[in-house]
Structure 1
């Protein structure tokens, strides 16, 4: 049976989410034995090499940046660096599925921020969905209760940083190759990790640690390639909701690798966030507007 373009796009998106979650799993596992900044530096080095090869093969390598893009690249890189550090810091302390559940609020947060700062129109239905989704986040974070985890706020900070990154990316000119945007982000993260390395120390890299770092980098690149294929093959409004399969993979891997399962309130909050996110995707499709999935989702570096 031959798959339609939208079916292939949905499949690519789902596999990409699995790859990104496997990357997160590898990083969470390796930071048990390696300092965080060392792990980021080693993975970043491998990722930069891979992106250089991809950019070269695509004929997209470009040293010079157009003047109008320079400030946006700098600001985007800042958001990428801050998002990576806060995400991985939270990941070391939190169950994988809990952090993944918080991150599902990202598309709604992008829509809200675009409405507030870019004056993009958001009707009352989508605004209601965003507020309902935020209620779902509160169920996951549970501020002021016995179940509150301070590291959840670090996870929310990561969402804020990624929102900044994705909104800034919309300002880049169409002449800026995606592979180069990803490469600049990877270099920024890697250089920052190198600068912070003295504060975290260096540990011996065992064979197991090396395999986890290589796996994290490999899964990151696989996710990058597949998500590009997903948004090019299928309609974004139909393919984008499959990004929420990341939570399913996070729950499965969190249980299989770390023996951690989210509680009922976390799952309820996640279900609310996902439902409102899917509603927003389809509402924007009906209105013929740009779907609020970050258009640079394939450039995720963390």
Structure 2
């Protein structure tokens, strides 16, 4: 129980860190810094911080397990998630992108059933389908309010779900700090390629450098706290607290960017969160019955 409570605390702290990171990256992008350059600087800065923390802990920066197929797969999904979600928060409302991202745990459960053969009953499959319908309510395809750029958040959602599934299979010999190095490092070539495609770099002013530095700090903390939460507590007890990220994003979106989510976004968000919580609670009940 103590591990679950501490894990929940780390998860809430991680979600707050991610929400602040998203807000700062959106501000920097809105000020004119290319998204590719933002990813490059953010990834390099985060990798350097994790590398310093790893050396301070007396751990090696390199381990042969890093180039194993599972870690390479994890890196590929990390790149996909980071690239498309960063584009989403730069080009669409923060509240909308964050709301779509809340379906990640549902996709993870579905992926665990389809890929790892975990048994998922009809109740959880129904909740997964309901949650995906909630995403459609937010997207509103075919309706007047549809924004095709919101599909960037869907692509980011798929990338992050794949990363989470790959993390489950990550070699246990790699520490949380080592995983952080390579998680951030994967953004560097992605950001470089996107930056070159966008037409080059722009030298950030002092304000932008400061915002990027703070974003890196919150990003490193959030990444570390998330990894600790997932390894410390039971998945079914800790994962529901992921949804606090939506609350933080909604508040920051309204206060910082003046966003006002419409009724469909709020309704769709409610469906996604309710479906996700039901799925996690049902998973915990099934696990306890097996025990």
Gaps of 5+ in 2: none
The alignment of Structure 1 onto Structure 2 pairs a total of residues equal to 286
Q: What TM-score do you get using the length of structure 1 for normalisation?
A: 0.88
Gaps of 5+ in 1: 290-302
1:110–1:5 CA distance, 2 compared to 1 (3 A): closer
Q: Distance in 1 between matches of 2:269 and 2:232?
A: 28
- Deviations along 1:72-126, one digit per CA (max 9) or x if unpaired, are 2222111111211111111111110111000000000111122122221100111
- Deviations along 1:276-298, one digit per CA (max 9) or x if unpaired, are 11111111111228xxxxxxxxx
Contact map agreement 2:180 2:223 (CA 8 A) in 1: no
Contact map agreement 2:177 2:224 (CA 8 A) in 1: no
Match of residue 31, structure 1, among 25, 29, 32: 29
Aligned-partner SS, 2:146:
coil
Q: Distance in 1 between matches of 2:231 and 2:87?
A: 33
2:125 aligned partner: 127
Question: Pairwise CA RMSD of aligned residues?
Answer: 2.0
1:213 aligned partner: 212
1:78 aligned partner: 76
Aligned-partner SS, 1:37:
helix
Cα distance, 1:29 vs. partner? 0.5
In terms of mean alpha carbon deviation, does 197-206 or 260-269 score higher? 197-206
Cα distance, 1:266 vs. partner? 0.8
Q: What TM-score do you get using the length of structure 2 for normalisation?
A: 0.91
1:286 aligned partner: 285
Q: Distance in 1 between matches of 2:287 and 2:115?
A: 21
Q: Distance in 2 between matches of 1:275 and 1:239?
A: 16
2:269 aligned partner: 270
Aligned-partner SS, 1:217:
helix
Cα distance, 1:7 vs. partner? 4.1
1:18 aligned partner: 16
Q: Distance in 1 between matches of 2:7 and 2:161?
A: 24
- Deviations along 1:151-209, one digit per CA (max 9) or x if unpaired, are 12111111111222222233332223232222122112112222333222211211110
Contact map agreement 1:52 1:61 (CA 8 A) in 2: no
2:116 aligned partner: 118
1:99 aligned partner: 97
Q: Distance in 2 between matches of 1:122 and 1:202?
A: 47
Q: Distance in 1 between matches of 2:228 and 2:165?
A: 22
1:58–1:288 CA distance, 2 compared to 1 (3 A): farther
Task: Say whether residues 1:146 and 2:147 are aligned partners.
Answer: no
2:246 aligned partner: 247
1:81–1:46 CA distance, 2 compared to 1 (3 A): same
Match of residue 174, structure 1, among 172, 176, 181: 172
1:185–1:129 CA distance, 2 compared to 1 (3 A): same
Q: Distance in 2 between matches of 1:86 and 1:232?
A: 26
